[in-house]
Amino acid sequence: MVKQKILIADKMYSQLTEYIKDNQISRIFLVCDSSWPYLMIKNYFQSIEKDLKIAVVCFSDFSSNPLYESVVSGINLFCQGEYDLIAAVGGGSAIDVAKCIKLFFDMDHSKNYLQQTIIPNDIKLLAIPTTAGTGSEATQFAVIYYKGEKQSVTNDSCIPDAVVMDPSVLKTLPIYQRKSTAMDALCHGIESFWSIYSTNESMEYSQKAIKKILANLDGYLKGDYEAGREMLFASHLAGKAINIAQTTAGHAMCYKLTSMYGIAHGHGAALCVREIWPYMIANIDKCVDPRGKEYLSSMFYKLAVIMGYDSAKTGAEGFQKIFGKLELEIPKYNDRTLEILARSVNSIRLKNNPVSLSMDAIFELYSRILEKG
């Protein structure tokens, strides 16, 4: 497993400069999203071209929910030069594209990269997350879309070996994106805590992430710089947790919501978790965690205590209060909507969930998650 180097940004980005010099970087392939023109760090990368004589080539020809074809375009451009470093500046999509370029660039270009065996390589990957939510900079997972279908690429060699924590990148985030990315990180912390694959290590990351998010959420939403720094670290910790334990029903059930209603990923995840949580407490007899029902009951209690509550029930209610305070929209449904949503859920992702969810249960949950239209 990669031991990541965490670089703390200051006005001069001195730790980043030290990292570049220590690793004798001379050519950087920069994967950046639409936020790039508005970021202070853009000036830094422009300055090192002149001051350190480092060549920087930018690639930004991709969208959110990036396509396989966009990754191929990035690989084609990457292979035109000899680069020492791939640097990703952006949200989860930019980091995922950069991960795939790293994993695929030295494969057979005449064949589909998704159908080939990944062989780790030595090219360095640096991540500069511009949202405090996805945790992609801490995980071995990348998501791209091929022929309209979501493809999960997994290999621990794509975990960035260095991450820059730069609160200045959060300044331009709209309030809706602040809310939704914060909820994404919080859902990562919660879902990884109750995942059947949780470990002592992952639960420690989850606990620290949840506490940091709750302590800094108000300041972060108001644009406070230090609260933003803490949220970046909280998101990173939550990413480390899901890298071990993975996400559960909250994420499995949110993907179709985001595309159907045009809402952000974290918004969709929070919609789901706020109803899945009390449902699981009420249906603990359907426990599928191999550690048993008593363990699961104690886990829900511990999670509530981390959230600042004294019972499993009030812990779940506390999450609902946070969602309500953020005033995130609750989309409306009809009977046809529920059927489409229920049939869209990936059963493989549900296997991580500690309580079994039948098709009838999923249908019922969506009727709670949404409002009747």
- pLDDT tens digits for range 56-76: 999 999 998 899 999 999 999
3-class state of residue 138 by DSSP = helix
First to last CA, the chain: 48
Q: Which domains does the chain have, with CATH numbers?
A: 5-170 (3.40.50.1970), 175-372 (1.20.1090.10)
What does DSSP say about strands 371-372 and 124-129: parallel, antiparallel, or unpaired?
unpaired
Q: Which two tokens stand for residue 331?
A: 């989309």
Q: What's the pLDDT at 144?
A: 95
Distance from C-alpha of 9 to C-alpha of 165, rounded to nearest angstrom: 6
Distance from C-alpha of 163 to C-alpha of 35, rounded to nearest angstrom: 18
Q: What's the pLDDT at 328?
A: 97
3-class state of residue 9 by DSSP = coil
Percent helix / strand / coil, the chain, rounded to 5: 55, 15, 30
DSSP letter for each residue of 237-260: HHHHHHHHH---HHHHTTHHHHHH
* Residue 142 φ then ψ, to 5°: -140, 145
- Asked if 323 and 369 touch (Cβ cutoff 8 Å), the reply is no
Q: Which two tokens stand for residue 34?
A: 């639409």
Contacts of residue 177, Cβ cutoff 8 Å, sequence gap at least 6 = 131, 264
Q: Which two tokens stand for residue 122?
A: 């030595």
Q: What's the pLDDT at 249?
A: 97
Tens digit of pLDDT for each residue in 77-107?
999 999 999 999 999 999 999 999 999 999 9
DSSP letter for each residue of 68-102: HHHHHHHHHHHTTS--SEEEEEESHHHHHHHHHHH
- CA atoms in the 13 A half-sphere facing the CB of 127: 31
Distance from C-alpha of 36 to C-alpha of 226, rounded to nearest angstrom: 22
Q: Which two tokens stand for residue 349?
A: 């992702």
Q: What's the pLDDT at 347?
A: 83
Contacts of residue 76, Cβ cutoff 8 Å, sequence gap at least 6 = none
- Using 70 as the pLDDT threshold, list the residues of the chain that sit under it: 1-2
Q: Which two tokens stand for residue 164?
A: 């820059």
Q: Which two tokens stand for residue 69?
A: 């074809």
* C-alpha closest to that of 185 among 230, 150, 147, 140: 230
